[in-house]
Amino acid sequence: MKKIKSLLLIFSLITTGFTLSGCGYNTLVSLEEQVNSAWANVETQYQRRADLIPNLVKIVEGSATFEKGLLTEVTEMRSKVGQVKLSPEDLSNEEKFKQFEQAQNNLSSSLSRLLVVVENYPDIKSTEAFKNLQVDLAGTENRIATARKRFNDAVQEYNTTVRRFPTIITAKIFGFKEKQYFKSKEGSEQAPEIKFNFDSDKNKK
pLDDT tens for residues 113-140? 999 999 999 989 899 999 999 999 999 9
Average pLDDT value for the chain: 83
Q: What is the mean pLDDT of residues 180-190?
A: 67
At 10-33, the pLDDT tens digits run 334 334 444 444 579 999 999 999
Q: Which pLDDT belongs to residue 2? A: 52
At 27-46, the pLDDT tens digits run 999 999 999 999 999 999 99
Q: Which pLDDT belongs to residue 14? A: 39
**Per-domain boundaries in the chain:** 51-204
Give the CA distances from residue 63 to residues 73, 84, 112, in Å, rounded to whole numbers and listed in that order: 17, 31, 18
CA-wise closest residue to 99 among 83, 88, 114: 83
CA-wise closest residue to 132 among 121, 140, 120: 140
The one-letter code for the residue type at 86 is L
pTM value is 0.79
Burial of 13 (0-12, 13-18, 19+ CB in 10 A): exposed
Q: With a cut of 50, say whether residue 82 has pLDDT above it.
A: yes
